[in-house]
Amino acid sequence: MKTVDEKGTKALRNTASTATLEMVAARAGVSPSTVSRVLNGTAVVSSVKRNAVGAAIAELGFVPNPVARGLAGGRTLSVGVVAPSIDSPFYGVVLRGIEEELSRAGYSPLIASSRFDATEEQHCIEVLRSRRVDGIILLDGGLSVRVLRAHAKVLPMVITGRHLKAPNLCGLHFDNIEGGRLATQHLIELGHRHIAFITGDARHPDANERLAGYCAALKEAGLELNPALVIPGLFHEASGLAAVERLLDSGERFSAIFAANDQMALGAALGLHRHSMRIPQDVSLVGYDDIAIALYSTPPLSTVRQSGYEVGQLAAAAMLKMVAGEKPLVKLPPPKFIARESTCAAVDA
């Protein structure tokens, strides 16, 4: 981290809030309206005046005040983001992707946390709207399509985790079925026949789709689905740990575990460790998401990559398109299996 001193002090002086649009107008010898027009490209302005305004802006170091813009009915250059949790390994990088993409365009995110509760989520949206955000990005919310549509009547909405294509409403959705299939296929190819699956929170579409992918892969391979090997989880580490305990208690035979996300896989890894079962020698383990720490778990976790950073970036880019009045065209990358060290060939293959 570099140290800023003289530089910082200097920057302090010509701070954004000093110059106003009115001062720019005076300096350029035009009316405030004209300045506003060149700023927003909202009308054709003669090149002479346009240049004069440009020069005045540069000389004064003028930066439009987003607050005033917001009040005047224009854009606030801010977009609301409601995340179920701001400090999860997955949503954290999604937020980073959003923040970077947005700030590159001069926009700021206004982040609110719904704590995995739809009522809170609704409240967050209201708060954000009262702050005049130009649009709202919802990360995996629990709101119905009807409610979403209603919001989209008022301002552009981007929502992840769902397929949706209504006016002013854009859904970003990974192919979780394919991802679930990929992970399961990998295990099957390694010779595993008894593959346990730790589900995610069933209220989450992603969770059910990954399960569907697991089932599909088994079926394609002609393997029977053993319901006793499907253990409910809740997407967090503790539930992964508990799932392994249940699995072991059940006495069912298994040589591999596929957890519906990395956090549960990490919990499962600890559970196996507690019972002195080695990964992957005794049990192969696969997660989902490829969160940052997956690379540094011991052993490094094989997983399905679903880049949170990209989700964030694409969601922000879609929002930027929408506020610009253009149609967003989002194409999410397909899920990809990442083989690391938590999987190996089944011994009883």
Partner DNA sequence: CTGAAAGCGCTTACAG
Stretch that binds DNA, among 42-50, 78-86, 106-114, 285-293 (CB under 7 A): 42-50
119 touches DNA by CB under 7 A: no
- Residue 258, both tokens: 């596929």
41 touches DNA by CB under 7 A: no
- Cβ atoms of 91 and 292 within 8 Å: the answer is no
CB closer to its own copies, 131 vs 327: 131
Among 27, 36, 81, 208, the residue binding DNA under the rule CB under 7 A is 36
- Tell the smallest beta-carbon distance from residue 106 to DNA (Å): 12
CB closer to DNA, 71 vs 127: 71
| Angstrom distance (rounded) from CA 276 to CA 179 | 30
Among 15, 46, 51, 103, the residue binding DNA under the rule CB under 7 A is 46
- Residue 211, both tokens: 């399960």
Stretch that binds its own copies, among 2-10, 24-32, 46-54, 208-216 (CB under 8 A): 2-10
Positive or negative CA dihedral for 88, 89, 90, 96?
positive
Among 241, 256, 257, 317, the residue binding its own copies under the rule CB under 8 A is 241
- Residues 48 to 107 in contact with DNA, rule: CB under 7 A: 48-50, 62, 64-65, 68-69, 71-74
- Tell the smallest beta-carbon distance from residue 132 to DNA (Å): 9
The torsion defined by the Cα of 38, 41, 46 and 51, in degrees rounded to 10, comes to 40
236 touches DNA by CB under 7 A: no
324 touches its own copies by CB under 8 A: no
Alpha-carbon 178 to chain mean position: 19
> What b/e readout covers 147-156, taking b as 16+ CB neighbours within 10 angstroms?
ebbebbeebb
231: β partners? 198
| Angstrom distance (rounded) from CA 230 to CA 138 | 30
| Angstrom distance (rounded) from CA 256 to CA 183 | 11
- In which residue are the tokens 């923040």 written? 99
- Tell the smallest beta-carbon distance from residue 54 to DNA (Å): 12
58 touches its own copies by CB under 8 A: no
- Cβ atoms of 342 and 279 within 8 Å: the answer is yes
- Tell the smallest beta-carbon distance from residue 315 to DNA (Å): 25
Among 50, 173, 273, 321, the residue binding its own copies under the rule CB under 8 A is 273
Q: Which does 42 bind (CB under 5 to 8 A by kind): DNA, its own copies, none?
A: DNA
Q: Which does 292 bind (CB under 5 to 8 A by kind): its own copies, DNA, none?
A: its own copies
318 touches DNA by CB under 7 A: no
261: exposed, middle or buried (Cβ count in 10 Å: 0-12, 13-18, 19+): buried
| Angstrom distance (rounded) from CA 46 to CA 307 | 46
- Long-range contact set of residues 102-105: C-beta below 8 Å, sequence gap at least 24: 102/316, 102/319, 102/320, 105/320
Among 10, 15, 22, 203, the residue binding DNA under the rule CB under 7 A is 22
Name the site residues for DNA (rule: CB under 7 A): 17, 20-22, 30-37, 39-40, 42-46, 48-50, 62, 64-65, 68-69, 71-74
